[in-house]
Amino acid sequence: MTNYIILVLCVIIILSYLFDITGRYSRIPGVILLIGLGIGLQLITKSTGLEIPNFRPLLPLIGTLGLVMIVLDASLDLKLERKKARLLRDSVLSAFVLLALVVTAGSLVLVKVFNHSTLSAILSTIPLGIISSAVAIPSAVSLSSREKEFIVYESSFSDIFGIMAFDFILFSLSEASGGVGHYLAAGLATVVIAVVTTTGLAIMLHKVSYHINYVIIMTFVILVYVLAELYHLPALLLVLVFGLALSNSRFVENTFIKRYVEFDKFNRDLEAFRKILGELTFLVRSFFFIIFGYYTSVEGIFLPSNLLIALVITAGILLIRWLFFRFVIGVKNMSLVLFAPRGLITILLFLSIPAAYMIPEVNTEVITLVILMSLLAMMLGNIISPGKKKRVYVPAPEKTDQQNI
C-alpha cells in the first residue's frame, strides 16, 4: 500500500507540473485543472469503492502554509521604485476600493434581500472580494510586463487588505478585542516585530554557511506568523514587511550596514531562497486545490440555485471592476478587467468563518463555482490580451492620469 501511495503522489506532482507548463501556452489556468483532477479522483474512488484517509482536516493547515508562502513569495516581487509610483498607486487603490465595493454591495444584498445580520454578510463577502495572488500571478504570463506588474501589486495587496479586514472582524469578536485603537496598536507592534525578525533572519540568510539554511528560515517565518496569530496580531502584515525588507535591501546598500553585509552574496542567497520558496509554494498550492476538488460536492455545483447565485456574484464582481477601471483610473484594457480570479485565499477565509455566522446562500459549492467562473473569465482575459509585444500601460508623469492600461 505504501508504494501505491507514493506512486499516486508522484503522479499527482507530475500532473500538476504539466498543468503549470501547459497553462502558459494554452492559457487555461492550472487551478481549473487541479480542481478538476481532484473531482476526477473523487469520482474514481467512489466508482471503484477505494477507501482513502480523510484529508479534509488538512485543508486549513495546507491552506495556511500556502497563504504564508504565497504572500511572502509575492512580497519578494514588490520593488519599491519612484518610477513605479503611479503603477503602485493605481494597483493599491484598485485592490482597496474594489474589495470595499464588492463587500459593501454583497453585504447590502444579503442584509436587505435575505435578512441576514450585517456581521454575517460582511464575513461571507470578504472572501469573495479578494483577488487570489496564488492564481493571478502565475497566470499573468501572457500579459505585457507592465500589466503583469500591475497584477502582482494588485493581487498581493488585495490579499493583504482582505485578510487584515477579515482578521480585524474576528479580532473584534474575541475577548482580546479592544476596538480599532487596540488593533492599530497591535499592527504597530507587528511592524516592530517584523523589523526585528527581518533583521535576524537576514543575518541568518547571510551569515550561516550550513547546508541546511533556507528551510530553517521558512520555518522561522511560519513560527513567528503562528505566534502572532495566537496573540491576535495581524500576522500577515509581518510576512509582508519581511518580504518587502528583503526585496528592497538596495535602500540600505550605501549605508553603514554595508560594513557588515556583503550585498552581492546576500542577493545571491536571496535569489536561491526565492527559487526554493517558489517550488515549495507550487507543491502546497497543488495539493491544496486537488484536496479541495476532491471534497467538492459534484451534485452541489450543478444545482441550479447555486449556479444562479454564483453567476450573479461573478457578474457583479466583474461589473464593479469594469466601472472602477473605466471611470476611476481610466483603464480600458478588457483583459485586465477580466483578470480578477478568486482562489486559495477565498477558500481559506471561507473555511475560517465561525459556524454561527455562516449563511446558506453562500455555501461551499457557490464558492467553488465563483472560483471556477472567475478563472474562466481570467482565461478569456488571457486569450484577448495583446500580449507582451504591446505595452499598453506606460505611465507618463508629465501627462494626465487618464491613460489606458
Grid cell in block for residue 398: 508629465
Three-state SS for 386?
A: coil
What would the CATH number be for the domain defined by 11-49+57-384? 1.20.1530.20
396 vs 401: CA distance, rounded Å: 8
Is pTM beyond 0.85 here? no
Which DSSP symbol is given to 329? S
Unique residue bearing C-alpha cell 485586465 = 336
Angle between helices 2-26 and 30-48 (to 10 degrees): 150
Nearest to 81 by CA among 325, 271, 250: 250
Q: Is 27 left (phi over 0), alpha (psi -120 to 50) or beta?
A: left
Grid cell in block for residue 205: 540568510
277 vs 122: CA distance, rounded Å: 33
pLDDT digit string (tens) for the chain, length 405 residues: 678 778 888 988 898 888 888 776 777 778 888 889 999 989 988 888 877 778 888 888 888 888 788 778 877 877 777 777 888 888 889 999 999 999 999 999 999 999 999 999 999 999 999 998 878 877 777 777 778 888 878 887 888 788 878 878 887 776 555 556 666 776 677 777 777 777 776 666 666 666 666 777 788 788 878 877 777 676 777 787 778 877 887 777 777 766 666 777 777 778 888 888 888 888 888 888 899 889 888 888 899 999 999 999 999 999 999 999 988 888 788 888 999 999 888 988 898 898 899 999 999 899 999 999 999 999 888 888 765 444 444 444 444 444 444
